Amino acid sequence: MHRRLWSARTRRGLSRAAASAALGVSSKHLQRVENAEREPTVAQVTAAATLYGVEARWLLLGERSPETPQPPVALAELLHRCVRAQARRDDPGGPQEPGSAAQGELARDVGILTLALLRRCAQPAEARPGWCGTASAGAAPGAPRLGSTAVSLSHRPAEALIERHAAFRAVLDWHARTGGAPQADEAAFQRQLPWLQILVPKPQGSPCLWCGQETPPAAIWGEAAAFELVGKCALPDAVFDRAISGEFLEVARTGRPIAQAARAPLSVEGRSYVVQWHRWIAPLRFLGHPAVASLAILDHDRRQEI
């Protein structure tokens, strides 16, 4: 990436001073980035792509060939947003956008996190200490937990889901157009992100790349818990996670989406409920490795107390 930034700038005929001024960084900072002495932020890469007249995907990840699909810049951007949201949660009174020195360092680290996350997801589980195999033993006291009854999963035709929520139609239409390649229509893909969980299926556990604020984990455990799932292999309730994640590997193996209706008991502060939801799991591809997207919508009108 560092060499490509230098190459794109020089081909554009821009001096380092002119480019750094346009990008809002010091000439010394740009020199260190081009010399691979420090990492640029995702925002700096996208700004450089516009300035140099090249694709941000090429700058960030290199030329894409049909044999090795590359993840879209959208994935890097959503991780950027995730870390920024975590910073706002930790310091509610702080600035809402990166600007202070501390947030500048945070933004710089996101570029490293994005590539490291994808590279580590491609490794065997035993090479990812602290990711899979060390999932949470359960949610915090008082948080919803899976009841004693097993989760019930039943297959449904995908067309039946479209009638339940507009998000299903939008995601199914996007997948039909692109074949599950986010880079084929990044704008539409980003519009669906609030409803999606994106995972890399592995037999020992499926690390989560993204969990949107409209997903069941966010509805059940809260948005903070959903953000914290990134890089982990289990929901806050590991029993619940094992009960609903078996199909991820199957979808990745066959390359065929599945649609399901689900029903599960949850215990909240001594009171038991049955929650129901519908979900659609479809294959995606990042860095040439299989990933899956899960779109699930809770039936809020069918939360029944036991």
pLDDT number for residue 63: 52
User: What single-letter DSSP state applies at residue 258?
Assistant: E
Number of alpha helices (DSSP H) and beta strands (DSSP E) in the chain: 14, 8
pLDDT number for residue 90: 59
Distance (Å, whole) CA 275 – CA 302: 7
Element at 73 (helix H, strand E)? helix 73-90
Structure tokens at 140: 């915090």
Distance (Å, whole) CA 33 – CA 133: 36
pLDDT number for residue 84: 55
pLDDT per position in the chain (306 positions), as tens?
788 899 899 988 999 999 999 988 899 999 998 998 887 776 677 788 888 988 766 776 665 533 333 444 445 555 555 555 555 655 666 544 444 444 444 444 444 444 445 444 444 444 434 333 333 333 444 455 555 456 778 788 888 888 888 899 999 999 999 888 876 777 788 788 888 888 878 776 677 778 888 888 888 777 777 777 776 766 666 666 776 777 888 898 898 999 998 887 776 556 677 778 889 999 986 545 568 999 998 886 444 554
What residue has token string 């609030």? 194
pLDDT number for residue 200: 78
Paired with 265 in beta bridges are 274
Asked if 231 contacts 238 with a C-beta cutoff of 8 angstroms, the reply is: no
Distance (Å, whole) CA 107 – CA 228: 17
Domains of the chain: residue spans and CATH? 2-121 (1.10.260.40), 145-305 (3.30.450)
Distance (Å, whole) CA 37 – CA 134: 33
pLDDT number for residue 269: 59
pLDDT number for residue 127: 42
pLDDT number for residue 144: 52
pLDDT number for residue 299: 80
